[in-house]
Structure 1
Amino acid sequence: MHVHSYEKIWLGLALGLILLLIGSVTYGAVGPGVAMVAADQPTVDPTALDEDDRFAEPRVERVGENEYEAYVVAYQFGFSPDPIVVPANSTVTIMVTSRDVTHGFEVVGTNANTMVIPGEVSTITVETGEPTEYGILCNEYCGAAHHTMEGKLEVVPQEEFDASNEDGDGDE
């Protein structure tokens, strides 16, 4: 059987594209910068978050010079605290867990995006700039009112953040 030279070229191109697809999928699954929920992160009991020191009282707290940690609980159909208030020009590590079902946590307009699984603690770090306001959305279907699940991340001047913590609205 004779195979025409153009058929050989198209066959070669098709095999090359298949190998390229397999390679890109493999790289996307195990490539650098891709991480799932950290195995070294301690788990939590989603039915007993009130007993966990980190999530009993969702908050933002200072942990160093211009470094903060935010502890966030996702639930059907909201986030706590809401709004999450952080100071401008700082590094904020957001630790989020769920008390009921799988949720998403996306800071709209940034690349901060993670899946929130009951019993697991998802961690993302963001660098804040000038004062502004971001929306937070759940991007994993979580129930009938999923479309209403939203929150706010408010980046405020350092003085305003410090003043709100002195009033008892947060920890420092």
Structure 2
Amino acid sequence: MSSTLAGAFGIAALFVAVLALVFAIQALRGQTGTPKTPAAPPVVPQPEPEQAPQPEPKPGTVKSELRRLSKELEAARGEMRETLQHLAVVRYDAYGDMGGRLSWSMALLDDKGDGVVLTSINSRNDARSYAKEVKAFESDTKLSPEEEEAIETLRKEATPLPTNPEQP
């Protein structure tokens, strides 16, 4: 097989993998009901009864701007927890007759362990790509050892979500 043909197969495999990623993300958004519009800022907890409520600062003051920015920061933090921001890639030789670790599995997950695992298996004659949904670091679909390794890498790196986040 010529290097030009092998390069064309590689580009085609990469294109299919990117398409699978786009479709998987769209499917995840559709299943989880993620709104396409920005989320409303979180509700600010009411002060405890012992504390006297603080008066609302005048608009345009430093204090009012700090409160507004604090609310925006909390909303951004909430949105970040749902983005596919954690990535792990495992490269391997899928077949004994090929070297170079051209096959790969890639896990893309959010803070809760939800996301997708993409796999591209390359042989001398073709390349196949797969996308599998992941929820809470688990998948309903049978995973290959390499896919499990990619997910396990992210599970070990995951930081538990705070149960009582500090208020700014």
**Hey, which of these two has a bigger chunk of helix by percent?**
2
TM-score (norm 2): 0.27
TM-score (norm 1): 0.27
